[in-house]
Chains A and B, each alone.
Chain A
């Protein structure tokens, strides 16, 4: 089947979801009211609280939620066949992510733009705030660990990508300084930055950087050395002002996002690549089962709890009319689902021409996990090749795009992790850790570094696959917490909570099932890393999942009805602004 036809069908389904289901949610479940005075108007200060055109807010929201993560999960999950992967992406986007992203925004708007963690404290229990911080801590730990492994693996597989990625850092700083000091326009310099990056792809191809000889001196693998270097870099980068490195590099990367999306779409159309992977793959015995593992392997792209942090943070402070939340929240979920669809198609139609070639890339789950990002990169390379770019350059181009986004993810991830460390330290009374940025930064880097270096990775990427699944569970738990908050709020509004409760129950079932199943595998494993690192980590996340289920059941049974609401759906007696304002 032509990949472009599948993309068109998915596009139609997403359109129907937005056209009908999101309207149902807006009118009947969230009760959006165009006359409601949003926090942006209520607290308008021109800095954080700014009533803003919905297209402006969507532009910001979409770039905050769409990136590298929805690429990796789908590229692994096609191991079970493209049918189940795509079905979960489509159904998850329409009935879970749409409800979650849109709902987080709607609830935050009715709670003076407070974030989900703070609202959970208000509507579920005081303990929910601690639970929120712990879940996010593990989410960010695993995000940083898996993306370090992704980048390191791509650097080893594509040594031609090293020079463009490394040189992009001083280029971005130079462009940022130039724009800042001369107060000049940003567009042309940033486009020059993109051109320089692509010129460096050619340089990188001529001068590939292989760290294997250096790593050998230290008696470690090249990938291990890359992981260490990456965390050393992110420790420094996360201490720099956002505007110095992150903003100019993000700006250059944002051009790359549009270029890459164009290349994927046009390349698919021009090449008319057909999907060679099976609809449902007959996986070898001993592989992880489709239930529950598909549903935690694809988190971002089907439903991602991280979106609730963006919806209820910056976005909620800018919404002009409450009815705009449908477009911003639901379409943000659809945008990420579209990226995930592109990843599925790149890994099933772009990467190879025959079924036998595909089977060689996905013979077992470990190989599928370890090679997933490389498969996506090669698939996009083929799409770019359809447009006339030489294949070897096209593959490096795709690798540069993915690494750029993954590197940005790490930069920001380590920075966010430092905030979480400070928050947890403050609650625990460890004031020295809470107020010492360097110390908090060391903790933020050391924990994911240790995770990324767990032995057993090798070429098969076994540890990466496991870490990715654990990351998926923490992301789904974050979504579960947000859906609990949404469901409780809907109940208190005396509306039908089913649209939030169904994805909540499904996610918590899949998550706890997967954690329980993995735990026994780890305990019975032969390697010390599985028994003494992954098993305890799995157990801790399992405890958090059970804790969340208990909180959700108690809250949904009305046990946490401390807060009363006015007829507009806002909590009564709370005139405080959000704590971050």
Chain B
């Protein structure tokens, strides 16, 4: 089975800061955990986490990644390459944009829905359905 799943981080799960000496370093600085971000209290972050853990548990052979919208260096080339192989350049460009929707579920580069709308169980079923023909 060679299905690749990418869960795009919710918009509120922000890792702000770019560059030396101001990058994403709260975890590297705070010793007592006083990071005032929204992550621990954000329902959507929890939903992505649950989806991720269920995918890993129920479909251990599937490659699952959680990627931030702003991780351009990975997200854009990966989606573009994956979709262009199957559907051509124009479709790949369209999919490139759709892939940067926060909370997206991407299967082999294509956006199949939103974690919040689908929910963990349906995401697992969706991925299982796409993986089955490949496995067979």
Contacts and interface: CB of A to CB of B under 8 A. Distances in A.
Q: Do A and B bind each other?
A: yes
Interface of A: 44-48, 50, 52-53, 55-56, 58-60, 62-70, 115-118, 121, 129, 133, 136, 139-140, 143, 176, 179-180, 183-188, 241-243, 246-247, 250-251, 253-255, 257-258, 300, 304, 306-314, 317, 336, 405, 408-413, 415-416, 419-420, 422-423, 426, 434, 437, 475, 578-581
A63 B25 CA distance: 12
B14 A241 contact: yes
29 contacts: A45-B53, A56-B71, A58-B74, A60-B68, A62-B73, A63-B23, A64-B23, A64-B24, A66-B19, A67-B18, A70-B20, A115-B30, A116-B28, A117-B31, A183-B102, A185-B99, A187-B97, A188-B97, A243-B16, A251-B69, A306-B23, A308-B28, A313-B27, A336-B20, A408-B19, A416-B22, A419-B29, A426-B32, A580-B26
A475 B46 CA distance: 36
A63 B14 contact: no
Nearest to A188: B97
A50 B28 CA distance: 17
Interface in B40-71: 45-46, 48-53, 56, 63, 65-71
Give me the 6 closest cross-chain CB pairs, A-B, nearest first: A67-B19, A313-B28, A46-B49, A64-B23, A309-B28, A313-B27
A310 B27 CA distance: 8
A56 B12 contact: no
A123 to B, nearest CB: 15
Contact of B20 (A53, A69, A420): A69
A310 B65 contact: no
A52 B66 contact: yes
Contacts of B96: 187
B15 interface: yes
A56 B102 CA distance: 16
B16 A140 contact: no
B70 to A, nearest CB: 5
Contact of A129 (B23, B31, B72): B31
B20 A304 contact: yes
Contact of A59 (B27, B72, B102): B72
B91 to A, nearest CB: 15
A179 B51 CA distance: 22
Contact of A143 (B16, B22, B33, B66): B22
B36 A313 contact: no
B133 to A, nearest CB: 24
B119 interface: no
Contacts of B38: 241-243
Contacts of A63: 18-19, 23, 70-71, 73
A409 B31 contact: no
A419 B26 contact: yes
Contacts of B16: 242-243, 246-247, 250, 411-412
Contact of A413 (B21, B69, B78, B101): B21
A140 to B, nearest CB: 7
Interface residues of B, number: 61
A56 B65 contact: yes
Contacts of B75: 59
Nearest to B68: A60
Given A115-B27, A420-B29, A140 B21 contact: yes
Contacts of B25: 64, 306, 309-310, 313-314, 416
Contacts of A116: 28
A52 B63 CA distance: 9
B114 interface: yes
Contacts of A413: 21-22
Interface of B: 11-39, 45-46, 48-53, 56, 63, 65-76, 78, 96-103, 114
A247 B70 contact: yes
Nearest to B38: A241
A45 B65 contact: no
Looking at chain A's contact residues, the main secondary structure is: helix
B17 to A, nearest CB: 4
B17 A64 contact: yes
Nearest to B51: A46
Contacts of A578: 27
Contacts of A419: 26, 29-30, 34-35
A118 B34 contact: no
Contacts of B53: 44-46
B39 to A, nearest CB: 6
A115 B25 CA distance: 10
Contact of A242 (B14, B34, B45): B14
Nearest to B74: A59
Contact of A186 (B21, B23, B35, B69): B69
B49 A47 contact: yes
B9 to A, nearest CB: 10
A149 to B, nearest CB: 15
Contacts of B63: 53
Given A242-B15, A304-B21, A580-B35, 15 more contacts: A50-B66, A65-B20, A66-B20, A115-B31, A116-B28, A241-B37, A242-B37, A306-B21, A306-B23, A309-B28, A410-B22, A411-B16, A579-B30, A580-B26, A580-B30
A137 B114 CA distance: 41
Given A185-B101, A419-B35, A254 B18 contact: yes
A139 B36 CA distance: 21
Contacts of B65: 52-53, 56
Contact of A47 (B28, B45, B78, B97): B45
Nearest to B76: A187
Contacts of B56: 44
A423 B34 contact: yes
B62 to A, nearest CB: 13
Nearest to A251: B70
Given A52-B66, A63-B73, A183-B114, A412 B27 contact: no
Contacts of B33: 579-581
Contacts of B11: 176, 179-180, 186, 243, 247
Contacts of B30: 115, 419, 423, 579-580
Contacts of B50: 46
Most buried by B among A55, A300, A311, A336: A55
